[in-house]
Chains A and B, each alone.
Chain A
Amino acid sequence: MPDLKADSSQLVEIRGLSKSFPGVKALDSVNFTLRRGEIHALMGENGAGKSTLIKVLTGLHKKDKGSIKVDGLDFESSSPMDASSKGISTVYQEINLVPNLSVAENIFIGRQPMKFGMVDWKLMNQKAKEALKKLDIDIDVTIQLSQYSIAIQQMIAIARSLDIKAKILILDEPTSSLDLAECEQLFSIMNKLKEEGMGIIFITHFLDQVYQNSDYITVLRNGSFVGEYPIKELPKLKLISKMLGKEITDINELNNKIHRDYYHNDKKMFVKMEGIERKGVLSRFDMDIREGEVLGLVGLLGSGRTEMAKILFGIDKHTSGYININGNLVNIKSPRDAISHSLAFCPEDRKTEGIIPDLTVRENIVLALQAKNGILHGLKRKEQEDITSKFIKLLQIKVSGLEQMAGTLSGGNQQKLILARWLAMNPKLLILDEPTRGIDIGAKSEIEKLINKMSEDNMSVLFISSELDEVIRCCSRAAILKDRKKIGELYGEKLTENTIMNYIAKDGYEL
């Protein structure tokens, strides 16, 4: 264990912190140190205890044991509000701002500048503008927050925490919805804040971003403290092995996964989309998917990938064009129609579009199947349990029981739950929209393996991902999108990270 002596520059000092939930030991004697002017990455798989640690620190949960010191003083926070008034500010993965208030209101909520006992709107808007200026953002602060992109919203959340003079900034998966340029903007802000002496706790699944920005890494695994390391002493591979608790050779195996570089010309055509267009959203495009093919959809954030999937699945209507399935012209007007043609869709936003948190694991898995069977042909309880158990085992979903509430699962397990739901339907085409977002490396590689296996079983997969290496590992062919337009396809040897990026940069003209 590294030397963890008390130091005057220490902002946060957590020692022997434990926290249990019914049936789970979420944190077991965890140490964590944050110094002034550093970016400290908190790493670990899903369920490692990162979120719990943050939640205890910010007062969302009460600790069972251990000490938390902030600025050398014993620290206890009764709520996130309390924590933020004491200088600890958190920007969550899911942004915790109020979407239907204005930007300025969001920044100053609860502490609006007053004049004669009334809110001084002019001053507030002006101050909000200044606060954002510091982050090089120039936007109209009187407009509703929801009008802005997730990236901007995140910056606004940061601006808010800066304005309340936070000493400690916690960024929980801040980059998962940002594109490359937006990430860079965020990182430059982070580094600026760091130079001003702020301590930043950075939680992310993107290893490159950790190495690009952090000074220290603390690794947690299954609620236990693995260690704290200066960034230079922990190469990437070592970090992965510490997070997974696996030997490095295993991971190498993951990286050398099957790279299929052939085009399934011999396979039967399954879906053929011709001249599909949704006015104002997506320009006219053709696309086909063969049986057993894993087709990637790549492009930057907002390039139209999700929109394409939603048209195919009947969530959004296309204004022109035809969809053929198995050579027959079909009319897909709703997800229900799509399901009847053996399509399945794992949405990007699993929280609002995927899981039903208040229902149990079993209910979440059998729901789509039940919906397809209809009201009168309900599955018997025993059948439901068999199906649930089968997929829990197949996908290695970590649950305490079939009747656990789905909302209490970790992100990766929720994702697997949604996969299980659709696999139980035995679909012919599975649309996966960012299936590995916000989940850990272990679960990621399991999902990749699963995609491979499904394709061997002749299931087609439409795979949407922002992570190019993932697309290249899983897909035999990829459609490239840019600015809501399909600009081309790459397959075989031409499908590399380099070519994709070049393709996007040069609009597909030159390779």
Chain B
Amino acid sequence: MKPLLKNADKNLLYPLLALSAILLFNLFFTDGFFSIQIKNGHLFGSLIDILNRGAPVMLITIGMTLVYATGGVDLSVGAIMAISGALSAQLIRPDYIKGIIEYGNTTSLFIVLSIPLLISIILGLWNGFLVAFIGVQPIIATLILMTAGRGIAQLITHGLIIVFEHESFQFIGSGFLFGIPFPIILVILLTFITWLLTRKTSIGLFIEAIGANPLASHYMGIKVKMMKTLTYGFSGFCAGLAGIIVCSDIQAADANNAGLFLELDAIASVIIGGTINGGRFSLAGSIIGALIIQALSTTIITRGIPPQVVLVFKAFIIIIVALIQSEKLRAQLKDLLKRGRK
């Protein structure tokens, strides 16, 4: 007997159903939700908006998925976003914090990108070092940076919101390539690269083995500590990139609010996407999870419901999807239906 769906596809079924339900709701109740217009050769529309707004969460979700699969969690991604944004802005306008409004020489794009990304990776590796080599619980190790990170970002910006203009840097967050918003392109690229790295090499299998049984993995000669550390480093990179997108989009570094609570969105996305314990992970599931959360937010806002309610809805969706994914509950529901028929 051949199963209808392969195991991996089956796990995607429920997140996809949830996403479809949200989209279907909009099809009936939100006018023009599915219309995509082309203005100046650029795509516009609610769907594009969901993808574009969701890009930062999708990026950190990619890193979070791998961390989660090793049996860990990364609470610091929001703070790393703030740090990387703050660094970018500071590099563009180094004198702003001294009260000098004039720009000096334009900082090269390479510097503005590479230094924040490098620092983000180092911060991620620091998390990994604490978890893998020192043996700190992941939730505690990353809580340290979650708490301290936002403070560090504020130190960088001296508590100011640094606003700036930098044409090539702004392209990252608000530019278009082939008519598609550039953040979406970045998400597609990073997803594809991560997929290649994890599924076309042994990395994915090692991560799953480590998450499911670290001791056995160690006995098999897998470099457990190294792999874990690198995973956190990668998560740091993803967060750094997300921070750059946000900062470049709003043309400002706001250390207080950039990436605030996004770590929770990322964790929710990973769980909704079907990566619930350490071990097996689904990159596609996580991306769909992130889309569900973003689609939900966009829907609520376009319906004119106060945005505060978004959080309640999010919680609701997480509960529902988590419940649907429980095999036990499904079996019990089936049982109930059977009994009902009798």
Contact = CB atoms under 8 A, between A and B. Distances in A.
B246 to A, nearest CB: 32
B5 to A, nearest CB: 13
B134 interface: no
Nearest to A338: B221
Contacts of A363: 205, 208-209
A284 to B, nearest CB: 25
A368 interface: yes
Interface stretch (B37-45, B211-219, B255-263, B283-291): B211-219
B222 A367 contact: yes
Contact of B209 (A347, A353, A367): A367
Contacts of B7: 403
Contact of A358 (B201, B215, B220, B279): B279
Given A336-B221, A354-B216, A358-B212, A375 B1 contact: no
Most chain A CB atoms below 10 A, which of B201, B203, B216:
B216
B201 A371 contact: no
A378 B201 contact: yes
Contacts of B217: 356, 367, 371
Nearest to B6: A403
B10 interface: no
Given A363-B205, A376-B201, A352 B220 contact: no
Given A356-B213, A358-B279, A403-B7, A378 B219 contact: no
A312 interface: no
B209 A375 contact: no
Contacts of B234: none
Interface string B194-213: 00000011110110110011
B206 A359 contact: no
B15 to A, nearest CB: 19
Given A315-B219, A335-B221, A421-B220, A357 B212 contact: yes
Interface residues of B, number: 24
Contact of B216 (A338, A356, A373): A356
Nearest to B219: A335
Contacts of B220: 335, 339, 367-368, 371, 421
Given A335-B221, A345-B219, A371 B212 contact: no
B93 interface: no
A381 to B, nearest CB: 11
A376 B197 CA distance: 9
12 contacts: A313-B219, A336-B222, A338-B221, A347-B219, A354-B219, A356-B212, A363-B208, A367-B217, A367-B222, A370-B205, A371-B217, A375-B206
A371 B206 contact: yes
Q: Which 6 A-B pairs have the closest CB atoms?
A: A368-B220, A336-B221, A339-B221, A358-B279, A358-B212, A371-B221
Contacts of A378: 200-202
B133 to A, nearest CB: 14
Contacts of B213: 352, 355-357
Interface of A: 23, 313, 315, 334-336, 338-340, 345, 347, 352-359, 363, 367-368, 370-376, 378, 403, 421
Given A335-B220, A368-B221, 8 more contacts: A335-B221, A353-B219, A356-B208, A356-B217, A359-B205, A363-B209, A367-B222, A378-B201
Contacts of A359: 205, 208-209, 212, 279-280
Contacts of A356: 208-209, 212-213, 216-217, 279
B219 A375 contact: no
Nearest to B223: A336
Given A357-B213, A375-B201, A370 B206 contact: yes
A369 to B, nearest CB: 9
Contacts of A358: 208, 212, 277, 279-280
Contacts of B223: 336, 371
B219 A367 contact: no
Nearest to A366: B205
B318 to A, nearest CB: 23
A480 to B, nearest CB: 26
Contacts of B212: 356-359
Contact of B205 (A335, A367, A374, A403): A367
A378 B223 CA distance: 15
Interface in B223-261: 223
Contacts of B280: 358-359
B215 A352 contact: yes
B221 A375 contact: no
A371 B222 contact: yes
Nearest to A62: B335
Interface in B104-139: none
A355 B200 contact: no
Nearest to B1: A23
Given A356-B213, A358-B279, A378-B200, A335 B206 contact: no
A354 B212 CA distance: 11
A313 B213 CA distance: 18
A352 B218 CA distance: 12
A116 to B, nearest CB: 36
